[in-house]
């Protein structure tokens, strides 16, 4: 007789069991010293470095997105750069003393982290969230995208084994399997979960914010890159093409639109073409748009694919060696499908007659799906850079650098992170690159610095005079007046 199984029920049961086990692990882990915690995350980072390529291979094989070389780089970044940024961070006991203000800060873990991870960066995000959660002495339970379950779970197992071999409690890192939408919802709703750290599609991020508990949600971006007439055009072209083609365009901070000053339109096009960009005509652009965008969303079968694959599927002939497909557009919005986020080596291209109009165009693009996320400016004119920085509704303004690498802190001094929060403009609680410091509670011991002053003594009461007293005073005054006369 065939054994029947309900995947949703199994996944819900997993959510309950793993969150319960994680809470026990967190409670034990909360007593660990800073030295013990640092030994554990050091072991985790080392394991990640050793298995970066293997996990990248698994991710490409399972999802079909991106390429092994670039996914290996992301894995290395997630354990090397991130580890270097947090290894000296104090997350245990007294983390700061302000003798002038007489305030002592004491770190305390948040508890169990429910970590939602995407298909686009499955293994790198799992390793990143494991490191920052454990550094803050939290336990973490992963609910990966079902289409990346195998590679995500393998990354979680690697992190768990490394952590436990270095002394971490059993259950400190775990991963749901099977994982379904209902199971993921059960995990987020679990009373044993303290905070939700969600990276994924818009629907999942909205769901993460719908539970009565803290949530840090990071959804899609729609990053514009403005190229000013004052820019170094060759460098801007290399930065943009290298960024948008990295891992076949699956990073959410990658450039989605290039907005150029019309004075440099032709030389910049030539610079892009010299690097392997192919500009589509209107007919080709329409055919590609029909392939990539279905019912207002990205066709998942086209995510992270090569230009050759995309062109073949769209029935377009492109030159051999093409690295990037560029689609000239004039409008932004639902009726211009390629003006939204496209997670593949395809980029929109706009030409504006001055930087002021380019500024407005970038705002229009951001309002159509990229609020709070990222914007790039390629310019040497500081006035232009300042104007873009002040006016754009984003929290990462990257100057003369590729956005895929710059936003995560690889080519800039931003905090190294695979979770880029979008602030209130993007529906988030933070505008930072998320790291371990966002996963600790801080107690503050405050000593008196402005003592209350004692109340002033009451004024003496006036003596109440009787009739005889008044008569004596009157006679005394009269007598003095008579002597004076």
Whole-number pLDDT of residue 461: 60
Whole-number pLDDT of residue 465: 67
Closest CA to 342 of 303, 375, 308: 303
Whole-number pLDDT of residue 204: 76
How far, CA to CA in Å, does 372 sit from each of 130, 221, 255?
25, 8, 15
Whole-number pLDDT of residue 163: 98
Q: What dotted CATH number matches 7-219+435-443?
A: 3.40.605.10
What the block records as the tokens of 237 is 């072209």
- The answer to whether the CB of 22 falls within 8 A of the CB of 194 is no
Question: 364, exposed or middle or buried, with CB in 10 Å at 0-12, 13-18, 19+?
Answer: middle
Would the pTM count as exceeding 0.85? yes
Cβ contacts of 440 within 8 Å, gap of 6 or more:
91, 107, 108, 109, 110, 136, 137
What the block records as the tokens of 362 is 């970038």
Span 299-341, pLDDT tens digits: 999 999 999 999 999 999 999 999 999 999 999 999 999 999 9
- The residue annotated as part of the active site, out of 114, 151, 175, 252, is 252
Residue that the structure tokens 């499955």 belong to: 122
Cis peptide bond N-terminal to 178, omega within 30: yes
d(Cα 157, Cα 134) in Å, to the nearest integer?
14
Whole-number pLDDT of residue 1: 44
First to last CA, the chain: 135
Q: What is the largest CA-CA distance in the chain?
A: 135
Residue 327 bears catalytic tag = no
DSSP readout, 183-217? HHHHHHH-TT--EEEEES-HHHHHHHTTSSS-EEE
- The answer to whether the CB of 325 falls within 8 A of the CB of 288 is yes
- The answer to whether the CB of 308 falls within 8 A of the CB of 325 is no
What is the DSSP-derived secondary structure letter of residue 367? H
d(Cα 26, Cα 114) in Å, to the nearest integer?
13
Class of domain 223-417: alpha beta
Which residues of the chain fall short of a pLDDT of 70?
1-4, 456-465, 484-485
Whole-number pLDDT of residue 206: 80
**What backbone phi and psi angles, to 5 degrees, belong to 55?**
-70, -35
Sign of the Cα pseudo-torsion (437, 416, 170, 184, in order): positive
Closest CA to 95 of 37, 19, 12, 27: 37
Cβ contacts of 135 within 8 Å, gap of 6 or more:
37, 41, 86, 89, 91, 436, 439
Span 100-112, pLDDT tens digits: 999 999 999 999 9
Whole-number pLDDT of residue 456: 67
Sketch the domain layout of the chain as residue ranges.
7-219+435-443, 223-417
């Amino acid at each position: 007789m065939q054994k029947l199984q309900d995947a949703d029920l199994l996944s819900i049961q997993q959510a309950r069991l793993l969150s319960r086990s994680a809470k026990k692990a967190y409670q034990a882990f909360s007593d660990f010293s800073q030295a013990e915690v640092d030994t554990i995350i050091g072991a985790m980072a080392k394991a990640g470095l050793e298995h970066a390529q293997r996990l990248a291979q698994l991710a490409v094989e399972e999802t079909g997105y991106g390429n092994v070389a670039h996914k290996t780089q992301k894995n290395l970044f997630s354990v090397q750069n991130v580890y270097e940024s947090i290894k000296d961070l104090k997350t245990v006991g007294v983390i700061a003393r302000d003798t002038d203000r007489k305030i002592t800060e004491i770190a305390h873990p948040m508890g169990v982290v429910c970590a939602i991870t995407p298909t686009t960066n499955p293994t790198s995000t799992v390793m990143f969230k494991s490191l920052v959660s454990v550094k803050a002495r939290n336990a973490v339970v992963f609910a990966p995208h079902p289409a990346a379950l195998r590679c995500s779970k393998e990354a979680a197992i690697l992190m768990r084994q490394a952590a436990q071999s270095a002394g971490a409690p059993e259950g400190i890192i775990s991963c749901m399997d099977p994982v379904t939408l209902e199971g993921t919802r059960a995990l987020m709703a679990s009373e044993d979960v303290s905070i939700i750290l969600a990276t994924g599609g818009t629907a999942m991020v909205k769901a993460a914010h719908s539970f009565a508990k803290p949530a840090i949600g990071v959804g899609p971006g729609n990053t514009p890159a403005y190229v000013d007439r004052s820019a170094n055009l060759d460098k801007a072209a290399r930065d943009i093409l290298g960024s948008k083609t990295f891992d076949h365009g699956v990073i959410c901070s990658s450039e989605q639109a290039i907005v150029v000053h019309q004075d440099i339109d032709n030389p910049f096009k030539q610079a892009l073409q010299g690097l392997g960009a192919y500009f589509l005509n209107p007919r080709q652009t329409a055919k590609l748009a029909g392939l990539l965008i279905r019912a207002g969303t990205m066709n998942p079968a086209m995510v992270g694919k090569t230009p050759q694959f995309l062109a073949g599927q769209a029935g377009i002939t492109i030159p051999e060696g093409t690295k990037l497909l560029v689609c000239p557009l004039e409008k932004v919005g639902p009726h211009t499908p390629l003006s939204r986020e496209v997670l593949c080596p395809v980029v929109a291209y706009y030409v504006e007659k001055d930087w002021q109009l380019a500024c407005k165009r970038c705002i229009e693009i951001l309002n159509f799906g990229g609020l709070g996320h990222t914007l790039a400016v390629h310019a040497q004119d500081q006035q232009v850079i300042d104007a873009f920085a002040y006016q754009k509704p984003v929290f990462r303004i990257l100057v003369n650098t590729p956005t895929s690498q710059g936003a995560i802190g690889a080519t800039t001094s931003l905090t190294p992170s695979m979770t880029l929060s979008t602030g209130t403009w993007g529906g988030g609680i933070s505008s930072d690159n998320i790291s371990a410091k966002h996963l600790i509670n801080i107690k503050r011991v405050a000593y008196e610095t402005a003592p209350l002053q004692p109340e002033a003594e009451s004024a003496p009461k006036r003596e109440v005079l009787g009739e005889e007293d008044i008569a004596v005073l009157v006679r005394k005054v009269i007598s003095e007046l008579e002597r004076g006369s």
